[in-house]
């Protein structure tokens, strides 16, 4: 009877890029289990900023840590691919990736393992959500707020699905739930980093480069993801997998004919 009830609630795959032991992952799994039969399949260690990388030059090891919880010695994309093909008993109704420690806004989504897990799910025709919380390093994460809005988004997607080739990128301000003003549906902003490549030397004079940090420069449009989060709203951005610039096709044809 219990198994039948869980089947009726649907099956959800939960993953992340912060690793299987991340508090955000466990908080997300607890929330999802309120509405669905959740399987957790996540990297065995932190895999932040790996993008949509797929491991193809070595075998992957899957470890069953406890009932319906698995670690994979690979990327978030590996976790989704292996989970869908070999671990899950059936195709899930939803994939949720997060709760990421740190926002995934603007161009950062192209680097994000959290978002890439949702991209992989979308490629396989499974409605997918990426969830992140914006941190500034001064306050502990308010996971309860991210849990609440993730659950709202999950309920919505389970009821309505999503448009073709589209995933939801959800970013939550790091505020107590009562202080969040609501939800805004936003577009992806632009962000670049100045001074993010650092040169250092070993004691023997060897030169190395460290990528990270730097000063971010944002596009602060009224309808952007970053603007919503900075104003205390949850940003929900529909991300489309077709990267074609359709307007540029005509531009290319015209310019090409002039060669």
Distances (CA, A) of 172 to 61, 96, 105, 118, 132: 33, 15, 11, 17, 6
Query: What pLDDT is stored for residue 196 in this prediction?
Result: 74
DSSP 203: T
Position 4 scores a pLDDT of: 37
The count of structural domains within the chain is 1
- Positions of the chain with pLDDT under 70: 1-9, 217-218
Look at residue 122 and tell me if it is in a domain.
Answer: yes
Nearest Cα to 172, choosing from 232, 111, 119?
A: 232
Residue 204 lies in a domain: no
- pLDDT score recorded for residue 97: 98
pLDDT tens per residue, range 102-124: 999 999 999 999 999 999 999 99
pLDDT value for 230: 94
Residue 197 lies in a domain: no
Residue 71: the pLDDT is 98
Domain that holds residue 107: 2-191+218-257
What is the CA angle 10-11-17, rounded to 5?
Answer: 140
Is there a domain that residue 176 lies in? Answer: yes
Q: What is the pLDDT of residue 10?
A: 85
Q: Is residue 160 part of a domain?
A: yes
The answer to whether residue 196 sits within a structural domain is no
Residue 11: which CATH number?
A: 3.40.1210.10
In a domain, 213, yes or no: no
Vertex 48: Cα angle to 91 and 118 (nearest 5): 25
CA 60, CA 50: separation in Å to the nearest integer?
A: 16
Q: 40 in a domain, yes or no?
A: yes
């Amino acid at each position: 009877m219990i198994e039948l009830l869980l089947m009726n609630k649907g099956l959800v795959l939960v993953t992340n890029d912060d690793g299987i032991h991340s508090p955000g992952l466990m908080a997300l799994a607890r929330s999802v289990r309120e509405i669905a039969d959740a399987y957790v399949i996540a990297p065995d260690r932190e895999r932040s900023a790996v993008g949509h990388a797929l491991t193809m030059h070595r075998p992957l090891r899957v470890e069953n840590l406890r009932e319906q919880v698995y670690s994979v010695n690979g990327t978030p994309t590996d976790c989704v691919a292996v989970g869908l093909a070999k671990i899950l008993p059936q195709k899930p109704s939803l994939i949720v990736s997060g709760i990421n420690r740190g926002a995934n806004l603007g161009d950062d989504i192209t680097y994000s393992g959290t978002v890439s897990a949702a991209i992989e799910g979308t490629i396989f025709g499974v409605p997918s959500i990426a969830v992140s919380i914006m941190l500034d390093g001064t306050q502990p994460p308010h996971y309860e707020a991210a849990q609440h809005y993730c659950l709202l988004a999950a309920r919505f997607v389970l009821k309505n699905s999503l448009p073709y080739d589209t995933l939801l990128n959800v970013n939550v301000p790091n505020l107590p739930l009562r202080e969040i003003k609501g939800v805004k549906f936003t577009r992806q902003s632009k962000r670049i980093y100045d001074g993010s490549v650092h040169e250092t030397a070993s004691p023997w004079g060897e030169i190395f480069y460290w990528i990270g940090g730097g000063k971010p420069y944002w596009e602060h449009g009224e309808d952007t993801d970053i603007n919503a989060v900075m104003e205390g709203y949850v940003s929900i951005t529909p991300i489309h997998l077709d990267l074609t610039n359709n307007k540029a096709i005509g531009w290319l044809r015209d310019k090409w004919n002039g060669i």
